[in-house]
């Protein structure tokens, strides 16, 4: 598995992150097979959140991987906190309590990365800084990042937080590519020119923050996957054509499209299907041409000025 440096950290991570949001849908034996297959494929970066399955996903993962000191040294664990029922909470107390719960459920002493999950309108960055300092000094969290945040929100944190923001997890796929499209359609009067995120992609590149695309196969906000979807005939025809050329699946090409971008992204998978996960991993070895990348981009309905 090809690796990249995560942000400005010392971590070398696989270019594919294994999302564990749905691991609670698996039986015990299935979950064991899933995590074992991930490890064998070199996909040892596992993404969690305290809200996934109400915390059950972290417990199921720890049980499935048979967490112990030896296993812990071989994997990279990332989790997220900040979403509560009906609200968001980046208070010092909530962050600290959340991490303690995460560590207990994952049966580990530390997280490699903690992300703040969705922006909290009532955030007091001084409290976030205090929480991060305490977690770092206690050895509970080694690196920090955010999820779904735009440049000025990150800048506000950085005014107070001394730890580098190493990652920003953002929704991005071939069909949800506004953060790319608004940079292509500069100074145009079409829909694609609307900047909805404050040029977050360029900001992350300028500040060495790794973008982690979530829902890389989804269109809309969890409307469904675009692969093999009759609503996207032109896109699927083009993806299938290119997949045939490389002798891989359409899943592989969809991930390879993200990896071809020079931002050096780390897509987060969501599948619990072992074969599909392996197809995602194969994207690490595919380098789409510039022409193929743009052909897929246009086939999804994205326009060039």
Average pLDDT over residues 42-70: 98
How many Å apart are CA 190 and CA 206, to the nearest integer?
26
Segment (H or E) for 94: helix 92-106
How many Å apart are CA 83 and CA 44, to the nearest integer?
25
One-character DSSP codes across 7-35: TTSS-EEESSEEE-TTGGGS-HHHHHHHH
The model's confidence at residue 60, banded by pLDDT at 50, 70 and 90, is very high
The model's confidence at residue 220, banded by pLDDT at 50, 70 and 90, is confident
Considering the segment(s) 3-224 as one domain, its CATH architecture is Alpha-Beta Barrel (3.20)
Q: Does residue 277 register a pLDDT over 80?
A: yes
Q: Does residue 297 register a pLDDT over 90?
A: yes
Q: Does residue 15 register a pLDDT over 80?
A: yes
Average pLDDT over residues 223-233: 94
Task: Give the DSSP letter of residue 149.
Answer: -
The pLDDT of residue 298 is 97
The model's confidence at residue 181, banded by pLDDT at 50, 70 and 90, is very high
**How many C-alpha atoms does 55 have within 13 Å on its Cβ side?**
11
Q: Is 222 exposed, middle or buried (0-12, 13-18, 19+ CB in 10 A)?
A: exposed
**pTM of the model as a whole:** 0.97
How many Å apart are CA 217 and CA 65, to the nearest integer?
26
Sheet containing 268-269: give its strands across: 210-214, 165-171, 141-147, 111-117, 76-81, 45-47, 17-19, 268-269
Average pLDDT over residues 53-69: 98
Q: Does residue 267 register a pLDDT over 90?
A: yes
How many Å apart are CA 252 and CA 277, to the nearest integer?
9
Calculate the dihedral angle through the C-alpha atoms of 198, 199, 200, 201, rounding to the nearest 10 degrees: 170
* Polymer length of the chain: 305
Q: Does residue 272 register a pLDDT over 80?
A: yes
Q: Does residue 223 register a pLDDT over 90?
A: no
The pLDDT of residue 291 is 98
Q: Is 262 helix (H, G, I), strand (E, B) or coil?
A: coil
Percent of the chain predicted with pLDDT > 90: 98
Q: Does residue 56 register a pLDDT over 80?
A: yes
The model's confidence at residue 242, banded by pLDDT at 50, 70 and 90, is very high
| Cβ atoms < 10 Å from Cβ of 252 | 24
The pLDDT of residue 221 is 78
Q: Please, what is the average pLDDT of the chain?
A: 97
The pLDDT of residue 222 is 74
Average pLDDT over residues 199-212: 98
Beta strands in the chain (DSSP E): 3-5, 12-14, 17-19, 45-47, 76-81, 83-84, 87-88, 111-117, 141-147, 165-171, 210-214, 218-219, 224-225, 268-269
Lowest mean pLDDT, pick from 27-36, 129-138, 184-193, 239-248 = 184-193
Segment (H or E) for 297: helix 290-299
């Amino acid at each position: 598995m090809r690796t990249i440096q995560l942000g400005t950290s010392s971590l070398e991570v696989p270019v594919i992150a294994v999302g564990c949001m749905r691991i609670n849908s698996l039986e015990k034996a299935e979950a064991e097979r899933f995590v074992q297959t991930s490890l064998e494929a070199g996909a040892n970066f596992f993404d969690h959140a305290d809200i996934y399955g109400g915390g059950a996903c972290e417990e199921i993962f720890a049980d499935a991987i048979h967490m112990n000191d030896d296993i812990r040294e071989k994997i990279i664990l990332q989790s997220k906190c900040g979403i509560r029922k009906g609200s968001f909470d980046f208070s010092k107390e909530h962050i600290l309590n959340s991490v303690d719960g995460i560590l207990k459920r994952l049966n580990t002493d530390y997280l490699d990365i903690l992300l703040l999950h969705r922006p909290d309108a009532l955030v007091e960055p001084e409290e976030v800084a205090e929480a991060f300092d305490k977690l770092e000094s206690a050895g509970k969290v080694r690196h920090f990042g955010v999820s779904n945040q735009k440049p000025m929100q990150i800048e506000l944190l950085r005014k107070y937080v001394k730890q580098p923001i190493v990652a920003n997890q953002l929704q991005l796929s071939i069909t949800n590519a506004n953060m790319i499209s608004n940079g292509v359609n500069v100074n145009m009067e079409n829909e694609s020119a609307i900047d909805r995120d404050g040029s977050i992609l360029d900001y992350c590149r300028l500040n060495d923050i790794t973008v982690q695309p979530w829902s890389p196969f989804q269109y809309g906000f969890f409307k469904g996957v675009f692969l093999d979807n009759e609503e996207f005939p032109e896109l699927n025809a083009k993806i299938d054509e290119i997949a045939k050329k490389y002798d891989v699946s359409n899943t592989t090409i969809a991930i390879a499209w993200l990896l071809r971008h020079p931002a050096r992204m780390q897509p987060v998978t969501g599948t619990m299907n072992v074969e599909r996960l392996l197809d995602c991993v194969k994207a690490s070895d595919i380098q789409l041409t510039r022409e193929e990348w743009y052909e897929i981009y246009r086939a999804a309905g994205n326009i060039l000025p």
